A and B are shown apart, each in its own frame.
Chain A
């Protein structure tokens, strides 16, 4: 126990003295933003991703390791719109790092650059786990990567002017590749247009919008409130009248509600990666959407 700790400490000190090789230390809260930061920053950024694809980004423990990573960050790339409100503020305040304190330029929130949907008309906890700014799960629509990528390139350039040209150049390359991919995905996804679906948690509004899916019902009575068996029975009634083609859920979610309802209603329960690492196939930004579409198309057959 002592020996590995000592060697870890020595290694840490060596790293500390040598200084980071990359120009920008990026603390990304979710894997998709970590991947986008790689696309924009290349080897000029060193990216730490705080969560994995199978973790619920609403509910993360403010672990000591996260605090130490936030301490050395130049910029945080965290979804925002209150997605990380249960843990990130604690990490930021304990990190003692003024670069990433609220209001600092080292705070980059992708939801600031996208028009948010499902903004609640009133705020009250009796409505469940609602987010004042709107639904934060914007990564479900790949088109959002364009304005976010652009803004990210600008922000990286502002924080690290020496490499501004590189960031902007890499954004242009990304934009070209991404538009090509979007065209391909949109063609592939044509059969999904207008398809009625049920969702386990309301984290798919942007996917629904992108693909023209029709959400019939959610398997939780209110956001973040787990369904009772009585509520699921009501859901089954609704599904009898308005059949759906599939029930989708994120990789990090408990599979029981969707498999239960799916089994009863004879509808496939489809687990989607939600983000990179959510499934084995979703290895990077491109394969994330490849896999999302292939899983949905497979369920449609």
Chain B
């Protein structure tokens, strides 16, 4: 308002000047005419002056930009060229914003801290404590959630650039019972040439498609069946990773990892050499503006010494190959309203070694396919099917935990999700599970919130 008033004042002032000059030029003209004419003149002048003012503003801005650029040449930091027009006419009820003062302080270099909280409610027809999958001894991480209400795993992540060459991230995870563990903690290069990136520390392996994602980024509340059975839900360990991104017009990335080898399906490592190794190849591209895909093949080799699952122990090796395919669709490439993600992965596991000191050779496999469709802003539906294919061990191990009893474990899961924003969601998930000898139905509710700096989303 004050701005318009000042403009009007300028216009009136200008009109005054011009009226004076007109009066000088044509003294015969009567000084008192009807107001409408004067108003018209003022309006015309106002328009005229505003055009001229904007012209001047443009020129001023160009001059300022040049000055700023000259400045920028001397100092590497970019200079601000003031925006020319400061006219702001907002009739919104919001208060006039004022830029916050930037005060340099000790905490100016604090890392970005983000927090993930979630809570669960689980109802199951059978008690989780006795759940098992015949033929697939499970690691502790892969067991089903307890029944009733519970606080899920809470995560705190601290991330920052360390210097111009390195970045680092630490994710501490608190389980509902008060235990804390370092879920991930790694340093990563940011300035290596030739598309190379090296990561070292504790991190989730880049094998498969879902493996690298933290729990709050999973499409369903839990991991698909093959991940739970063959990788203990998710494979992460202490190690070193090298990735190379090829300079191709489509996405092509290759990488290798070595790990300490303490985590399932490895275990009990105390050697100089790395007990687990992996290789992975990722590729993908756009199909059109609406859709894109990502494909991956990966291989993980682990060696275990006295890996304990339940009352059993295993020493030997696992070789797991994974083929993954992901397809994403969003109309016009705009996922905000509607989008679809289809993904599927196939796992093949070759296990050789001693199970309770008895020779065990198994060829097992598993796969899952899932789709999540956001049918309108905030609402999504998901469907997932997972299946495992066990093996029958040598005679002495029949009826042991390695024996699949000739059954093919499978589970089907449905999901309904509501997002209050990008940072919070509610999920309802129903699973009909035929992995155990008796079928189990499970209903879960979960909320997940993420707060802190705005993290970018992985594909």
Measured CB to CB, the residues of A under 8 A from B are 8-9, 11-13, 15-16, 51-52, 54-56, 59-65, 67-69, 71-72, 82, 85-91, 93-98, 101-103, 105, 109, 112-123, 125, 129, 134, 143-144, 146-147, 150-151, 154, 175, 179, 182-183, 186-187, 190, 193-194, 196, 205, 208-210, 212-218, 224-226, 242, 252, 254
Contacts and interface: CB of A to CB of B under 8 A. Distances in A.
A64 B245 contact: no
A86 B456 contact: yes
B284 A65 contact: yes
Given A60-B333, A62-B456, A96-B197, A68 B245 contact: yes
Nearest to B54: A186
22 contacts: A61-B292, A62-B456, A63-B284, A63-B292, A64-B285, A64-B293, A68-B249, A71-B195, A82-B454, A87-B456, A93-B167, A120-B100, A123-B100, A125-B421, A146-B62, A151-B69, A183-B55, A205-B88, A212-B89, A216-B92, A217-B92, A254-B336
Interface string B176-201: 00000000000000111101110000
Interface string B57-95: 110011011101100110010111111110111111001
B245 A96 contact: yes
* 10 shortest interchain CB distances as A-B pairs: A115-B83, A64-B251, A64-B284, A90-B456, A147-B65, A147-B81, A98-B191, A12-B248, A89-B456, A68-B251
B62 to A, nearest CB: 5
Given A143-B57, A143-B58, A143-B61, 16 more contacts: A8-B249, A55-B333, A61-B459, A72-B247, A86-B456, A90-B459, A112-B80, A120-B97, A121-B95, A129-B422, A134-B99, A143-B85, A147-B62, A182-B58, A214-B89, A215-B91
A85 B100 contact: no
Given A151-B72, A215-B89, A90 B328 contact: no
A114 B98 CA distance: 17
B292 A67 contact: no
Contacts of B250: 8, 12, 64-65, 68
B426 to A, nearest CB: 16
Nearest to A226: B377
Interface in B401-459: 421-423, 451, 454, 456-459
Nearest to B97: A121
Contacts of B84: 143
Contact of B164 (A87, A103, A226): A103
A228 B327 CA distance: 32
Contact of A61 (B50, B64, B72, B330): B330
B384 interface: no
A168 to B, nearest CB: 10
B47 interface: yes
Given A61-B459, A113-B81, A147-B68, A54 B192 contact: no
A154 B72 contact: yes
Most chain B beta-carbon contacts within 10 A, residue among A63, A103, A112, A242: A63
Contacts of A212: 50, 87, 89
B287 to A, nearest CB: 10
A226 B418 CA distance: 14
A60 B69 CA distance: 32
B215 interface: no
A244 to B, nearest CB: 10
A183 B59 CA distance: 12
A13 B80 CA distance: 42
Nearest to B292: A63
A217 B93 CA distance: 8
Interface string B275-301: 000000011111001001110000000
Contacts of B81: 113-115, 147, 150-151
B100 A101 contact: no
Interface in B316-339: 328, 330, 332-337
Interface in B378-401: 378
Nearest to A133: B99
Contacts of A9: 248
Contacts of A61: 292, 328, 330, 333, 335, 457, 459
Nearest to B50: A193
Given A90-B458, A186-B54, A63 B328 contact: yes
Nearest to B76: A105
A153 to B, nearest CB: 8
Contact of B251 (A67, A82, A89, A150): A67
Contacts of A89: 456
A143 B82 CA distance: 12
A187 B421 contact: no
B124 interface: no
A114 B378 CA distance: 34
A65 B95 contact: no
A98 to B, nearest CB: 4
B457 to A, nearest CB: 6
Most chain B beta-carbon contacts within 10 A, residue among A91, A94, A129, A224: A94
B422 A190 contact: no
B243 interface: yes
Contacts of B451: 125
B41 interface: no
B18 interface: no
A125 B453 CA distance: 10
Contacts of A94: 245
